[in-house]
Each structure stands twice: as structure tokens, then as C-alpha cells.
Amino acid sequence: MKKLIVLGLLGIATAATAQDEALQKDFAAIESKVIEWRRDIHQNPELGNREFKTAEKIANHLKDLGLEVETGVAHTGVVGLLKGDLPGKVVALRADIDALPVTERNDLPFKSTVTSEFLGEKVGVMHACGHDTHTAILMGVAEVLSKNKDKIKGTVKFIFQPAEEGPPPGEEGGALLMVKEGVMDNPKVDAIFGLHINSQTPVGTIKYKSGGTMAAAQSFTIKVKGKQSHGSQPWSGVDPILISAKIIDGLQTIISRETELTNEAAVITVGKIKSGVRFNIIPEDAEMIGTIRTLDYDMKDKLNARMKEMVSTIAKAYGGEATCEIKDATDITYNHPKLVEQMLPTLKEVAGAENVVIQKAVTGAEDFSYFQREAPGFFFFLGGMTPGTMESYPHHTPDFLIDDSGLLLGVKTLTQMSLDYLNSDKTPRLETPIRG
């Protein structure tokens, strides 16, 4: 009996080894393609809701692989469906496909020279946040998994999302619109995974955090009403610029004196102030716009309430009036703790335990958060910096660079996470707060 058990275990081990070897061959074959796709997309970037050529490239690739493909989702999004040979759960994988209004400043042979129009101005267009790498990685995952349908117990839904950086003014877009159009249904998604390349994390490293990992982002507009007068007679008017200065100062005390920063980080930033037309005229009004970043729902509610209260009160104290309008841009990117716990062994197996690192929450934002409202999700960071590099460039800057040698780890990780999740009986339920 013992001998039979041993032989049986050896047979299982041999089959697992053969499966692993087959996947490794597929990974080795896909790397050069992923790099080629990434460089082509990088050289031909498109702004949010205008990713027509990028979407066509993705759709043609998925169709060639034999996937069920839907185009025109949330304007320019593409969704591919891959059904495994065995029935089971549904896992979704997401990549964002849009670029930024940034003029590229480097000597790469595949440097972008594309220009477009943004907010009425002619601008350079650049993949200055790495969405080109996300797209190429997910195209690679789709090709590897399509060759291994016999290993898939269930269904993989590939979501190529437009306008992660935000849709043009007056338009809907991004993850929120994809969810609104039903991307997480038909078939209903049980879990969703996503990654983000990072230019300041060495190649080969994966960083993650359970729970709140990226901030909710909100925009605010403050309008101040004063009374116009001659600049030489300030006592005869109400100065909206002075009131604006007092409001800006007051807003920072909400963070520094009223927010429990040992709990989670929070930020209020005024990014623009506009008022007046001439040096010797006290204007009638002023306008400020800015952003709020929070990682805790209760803190978010408190900051919003205090801002509205403080803005109107300060303006009134100086004889003016002011309003504060706050709009949501993204929700908190919340990694489901049980899903993280379930998938952590996969990350460590693929990347090596020493290369999987817990990180602190960041105040950057991601609309991947809207998918996590609908199903448990896990969003992590992939190293894209050349190891040993003395200087790296931040995202959203003209000098932003990514080392292509980091892309294959992304392909391997998302592929293995999909297989391991679908072949597991564990299915964490959505327990996180669903907030607007």
C-alpha cells in the first residue's frame, strides 16, 4: 500500500513538473513579443477615450488567439473572454491603456513624437506612467493562457481599460464607466487582479499591501466672492485674494491639527488659484482648485465636512462669501485581506520570497478601486527600475523610463495567479465597505 501511494505521488509530481516546464517554455517564447508590443504602444500613445489604434491592436491580438472579444466598452475599451476546458470560477485581469499629455524627453529609439490636443492646447503625448507596459504584459498573459486552456478551471476575463488618468472634461470614462456598462458581469467576476509598473522599484521586485493601498482621490473647487475696489483703497472693498490665502492656510490645519495621521495619511493640495486682471484692482472673485487624498473612509467624510464648513466660515469672517464643491475621482484601492493571503504564496513562488515586499500605503490613486467595489481585488506593484541605477525618474514626468527586462515577471505573475486562483476552492467574499 505504501509503495502504491509513493508511486502515485511521484506520478502527480511528474505531471506538475511537466506542466511547469510547458509554462516556462511559453514564458520564454513570449518575452520578446511583449517587449515589441510595449515599444510599439509606447511610440504610438493615445490619450484617454481616444485610444483607437491601441484598442484595435489589442482586439486583433485577442481575436487571433481565439478569444471572445468585445470592443467599444466605455468608448475604447476591449474585453476578452477565455474559457478553460473545465468549468469553474471567473477571474478578471485588468490593464489600463491610456497615455498622458506629456512631451517625452529622452533618447529612446522608440521615443514618442506624437502630439495631440488637450484642454484646447497642443501637447505632446507620452506613456509617462507605464500603461504601455501593463497593456503588453496582459497581451502576453492572454497568449500564454490561451495555449494552456487545459490547465484552466473556469474563465479568465481580460479587461483593457481606457482613460485611467481620467476622461476628457464633459465625458464619462475609465473603470467607473466600464463597471456601469457591466464589465464585471456576464459572466460575473469572482476576483480581479491588476498590477502597476514602478520606475523607482528594482526589476524583479514585487511590492504589495493588504487593505487600503492607494488613496481615494477627490477634486475640489472653491469659489470666493468679494467686493471689487481700487487697489489703493482696500478698505472700500472685500479682497477675495486675501480670503483665498486665509482659506489655503486653514485647509492645511485640517491635516496638521485635526487629522489623526498615525492612522492613515491624508493630503489636501491647492493646485491652482485664479483671480484678478490688473495690478491695481482688488478683484471681485477668486477660484481655487485642488485635490484631496484619503486612505480611510471615516477620515474622508470628516475632511470633506470640515473643508466645506471652514471655507464658508473663513470667508464670512473677512466679509466675503465662499463655496466648496467636492467631486470623487477614484475610491480607495482596497486589497481584500483574505485574497491577498490566498495569493501571496503564488507571488513568492514566482518572484522568490525575498523579492516580495510589503510596502506602506501611497497617496497616489487608481480607478482600479471601482472594480474592487464589485469583487474582491488584489492590486500590486511591479519593479521597472534597472537594478543599481543611481537615478530614476518619477511617473508623469518627461524623463520617465522603464526597464523592459521587468515585464516578463509581470506576465508570469498574472498567469500563475490566474491558474492558482481558479484551481483553488477558496473564494473570498466581498466584505469591504462599498462607498461612493
- The C-alpha atoms of residue 241 and residue 330 are separated, in whole angstroms, by 30
- The C-alpha atoms of residue 148 and residue 281 are separated, in whole angstroms, by 71
The enclosing H or E element of 93 equals strand 86-96
- The C-alpha atoms of residue 395 and residue 165 are separated, in whole angstroms, by 12
- The C-alpha atoms of residue 129 and residue 41 are separated, in whole angstroms, by 13
In sequence order, the 6+-apart residues with CB closer than 8 A to the CB of 156 are 81, 82, 84, 90, 91, 92, 93, 142, 145, 418, 422
- The C-alpha atoms of residue 356 and residue 414 are separated, in whole angstroms, by 14
Does 431 qualify as catalytic in the annotation? no
User: What is the radius of gyration, based on Cα positions, of the chain?
Assistant: 25
Q: Which of 51, 96, 143, 164 is catalytic?
A: 164
- The C-alpha atoms of residue 223 and residue 299 are separated, in whole angstroms, by 24
Number of Cβ within 10 Å of residue 164's Cβ equals 24
Does 164 qualify as catalytic in the annotation? yes
> Residues 51-87, buried b or exposed e (16+ Cβ, 10 A)?
beebbebbbebbeebebebbbebbbbbbbbbbbbeee
Q: Which of 96, 98, 104, 285 is catalytic?
A: 98
Of 213, 193, 257, give the one whose Cα is nearest residue 363. 213
DSSP E strand stretches across 308-418: 321-330, 333-335, 356-358, 377-385
Q: Which residues are catalytic?
A: 98, 164
